[in-house]
Structure 1
Amino acid sequence: MLKKILKSYDFSLIAVMIVLSIFGLVMVYSASMAFAVQRYHVAPDHFFQKQKMFLIVAAGIFAFFAGFPYKIMKSTKMLVPMVILSLLGLGGIFVFGKVAGNAQSWYEIGGISIQPSEFAKLAVIIYLSAVYAKKQNYINEFNRGVVPPLIYLILISGLILLQPDFGTAGLILLIAVSIILSSGMNGKNIFKLIAMGGIAGGIISFFLQEKIFSEVRMSRFTVLEDPFRDVLNEGFHLSNSLLAIGSGGITGLGLGKGVQKLGYLPESHTDFIIAVIAEELGLIGVAFVIICLGFIVLRGIHIGLKCKDPFGSLLALGISSMIGIQSIVNLAGVSGVIPLTGVPLPFVSYGGSSLIQLAVAAGILVNVSMFANYEQNYKTKKAESPPATLAREPIRARR
């Protein structure tokens, strides 16, 4: 049985995740060398060493969740503590959290920053997948099947908006939309949710207009018209990002030979790491990252569609949408298609919270895939094979 289970794992998916994470570790080293010395006055490999530690921890966490039966997570004993801890983690940030980048979104523990909103994304995926899977028999009853799970989503999103972190809050809402659209509810209820969301958005915008429409946030939209108009102020981040992307060409300047990371491109090892990749490895390096991310997302969608268990199917689709949406938002922001949001690039950007959360999500996705493959390859064949007594009937007939 153990041999059958091992054969059921999607090793191509695991291999791509490992390769992309190691590639990200190399690029973090390249992108953060000058930043570590200039800003923090530490060794050039400071962020590389921390990311390496995060990656080792993440590998163990991934292995655990890849072997942990995902179906256990839909039990009340698992869901209730997860919901409580996620709400307490986001609520406590206003008392014990530190302020950075005009937002109070991190805990500082022993020199390590922990961002609870990263783990809240995964908590929302697990919770909505579990609840909507249980409500399949009455998923189209609006008051009973549709609305109750959204209370948790509203609380999570509200706490993140108050930090304020509009990028992560918007990302969580988009992930929730993907799960809702995949849950099987009818178009009438989806239309009702859209209307309710529009009304809620209007109310939130009215009460938080000073934060939402502040001069700093609105400048992220106006700078898209011409980021080079005010290079030293509003357009500083985006203009240097575009210069890095444009100077790389097809093959890039060479690994470690980028110029924009030398004090010109802020946060080059986190939000803007794809710009460093474009400058040093060119279009080939960017294409490699996009192909790897695309493979993970499409593989996850395939797993979700193949899985016969509603909970596993929604989990796979939710995790895939999280990785896909987050990748698109990061790439679009860095290239000036949409305003910058501060969303990291999955598996590549520096960050312990993001990497460990992705390790949990990736482990769950691989576990869902394993169970789906096992049931399809072994249980189905066993069910289809004729009983031994029936197989001997022709022999008796000949006698």
Structure 2
Amino acid sequence: MTGLGATFDPADAVGGGGGSAARASALAGTRERWRMSLEGRALVLVTAILLSVGLAVLFSASALVAVAKDQPGHHYVLRQATGALVGIVAFAVLAKIDAERWRQLAWPLMLLSILLMIAVLFTGKVNGSRRHLFGGSLQPSEFAKFAILVWTPMLLAKKGEVVRRVGKGLMPFAVVIGTLSVLAILEPDYSVAMMFCLLTAVLLFVGGARIAHFVMFGALGLALVTFQLSQSSY
């Protein structure tokens, strides 16, 4: 209960300072939750630099185009900056969600991304490919990248040292990420398919996978990509 800026906690009346102690503990926990490590700060700094450079390049490339269309020179960069602001807010919120909750969401996110990647194959082609849903407002491959970043660490943490084996270790990653990559190739979007594999490879390397397995899967993947590109008209 609150009144005139003061907060009344029944625990204070019953247990003396118990309520105050609980609030102090909760406040300390909140501060710890928002504390950022040196690595985290470095990552945020690098991301901010890339974002700033990207907006500057976009302004340089789009100002004359906007003026030619009777728009202010900052039209496109302002629209992009608005999206960046939404992304910053989403980053701040998602970064503080407990890791256990992400672990629970890992499989639902991955299954949903696979379903969306399948659904996009039944849409009409735009500029020779199928990449968007709902009138261009959703690109399933971008959602799939996020799913990979949540699902792969979850499975790595679960498998532990088993990840150094091929059968029970790397094969589940190869099957799931391979499925996403094949669906991306069918759109077709070869660069996204390779991005899926690159993201997974980086996470597997950090997770302790053996270098020899990287060489084996890399050689196989390179052969498949070379064959697929040789069948392409561009």
Q: Same fold (TM over 0.5)?
A: yes
User: Partner of 2:150 in structure 1?
Assistant: 126
Which residue of the other structure, out of 168, 181, 190, is the alignment partner of 1:157? 181
The separation in 1 between residues aligned to 2:150 and 2:221, in whole angstroms, is 21
Which residue of the other structure, out of 104, 107, 111, is the alignment partner of 2:130? 104
Q: Does 1:91 align with 2:118?
A: yes
Distance 1:151 1:42, change over 3 A: farther
Contact 2:131-2:187 at 8 Å conserved across structures:
yes
Which residue of the other structure, out of 46, 51, 59, is the alignment partner of 1:21? 51
Contact 1:97-1:105 at 8 Å conserved across structures:
no
The separation in 1 between residues aligned to 2:41 and 2:162, in whole angstroms, is 37
The separation in 1 between residues aligned to 2:108 and 2:196, in whole angstroms, is 20
The separation in 2 between residues aligned to 1:170 and 1:156, in whole angstroms, is 10
Letter in 2 for 1:51: Q
Distance 1:13 1:92, change over 3 A: same
Q: Does 1:35 align with 2:65?
A: yes
What does 1:279-298 align with in structure 2 at a 5 Å threshold?
Answer: none
Deviation at 1:157, TM superposition (A): 0.4
Contact 2:117-2:140 at 8 Å conserved across structures:
yes
* Number of residue pairs matched by the alignment: 203
What does 1:194-233 align with in structure 2 at a 5 Å threshold?
Answer: 194=218, 196-197=220-221, 201=224, 205=227, 209-211=230-232, 214=233, 217=234
Q: Does 1:67 align with 2:116?
A: no
Deviation at 1:192, TM superposition (A): 4.3
The separation in 2 between residues aligned to 1:13 and 1:198, in whole angstroms, is 30
User: Partner of 1:4 in structure 2?
Assistant: 32
Deviation at 1:126, TM superposition (A): 2.2
Per-residue Cα deviation, 1:367-389 (whole angstroms, up to 9, x for no partner)? xxxxxxxxxxxxxxxxxxxxxxx
User: Partner of 2:85 in structure 1?
Assistant: 56
Distance 1:15 1:183, change over 3 A: closer
Report which structure shows greater RCO (CA 8 Å, sep ≥6). 1
**TM-score of the two chains, using structure 2 as the length reference:** 0.72
The separation in 1 between residues aligned to 2:42 and 2:211, in whole angstroms, is 36
Letter in 2 for 1:36: A
The separation in 2 between residues aligned to 1:97 and 1:179, in whole angstroms, is 34
The separation in 2 between residues aligned to 1:198 and 1:23, in whole angstroms, is 32
Equivalent position SS for 2:175: helix
Equivalent position SS for 1:107: coil
Equivalent position SS for 1:48: helix
Contact 1:97-1:107 at 8 Å conserved across structures:
no
The separation in 2 between residues aligned to 1:18 and 1:194, in whole angstroms, is 32
Contact 1:97-1:106 at 8 Å conserved across structures:
no
The separation in 2 between residues aligned to 1:113 and 1:194, in whole angstroms, is 34
Distance 1:163 1:23, change over 3 A: same
Distance 1:20 1:182, change over 3 A: closer
Distance 1:210 1:140, change over 3 A: closer
What does 1:241-260 align with in structure 2 at a 5 Å threshold?
Answer: none
Alpha-carbon RMSD: 2.9
Query: Which segments of structure 1 move beyond 6 Å, counting only runs of 4 or more?
Result: none
Letter in 2 for 1:205: F
Contact 2:129-2:188 at 8 Å conserved across structures:
yes
Deviation at 1:61, TM superposition (A): 0.4
Unpaired runs of at least 5, structure 2: 1-27
The separation in 2 between residues aligned to 1:66 and 1:132, in whole angstroms, is 19
Per-residue Cα deviation, 1:305-354 (whole angstroms, up to 9, x for no partner)? xxxxxxxxxxxxxxxxxxxxxxxxxxxxxxxxxxxxxxxxxxxxxxxxxx
Deviation at 1:205, TM superposition (A): 2.1
The separation in 2 between residues aligned to 1:36 and 1:137, in whole angstroms, is 54
**TM-score of the two chains, using structure 1 as the length reference:** 0.45
The separation in 1 between residues aligned to 2:67 and 2:122, in whole angstroms, is 32
The separation in 1 between residues aligned to 2:35 and 2:204, in whole angstroms, is 32
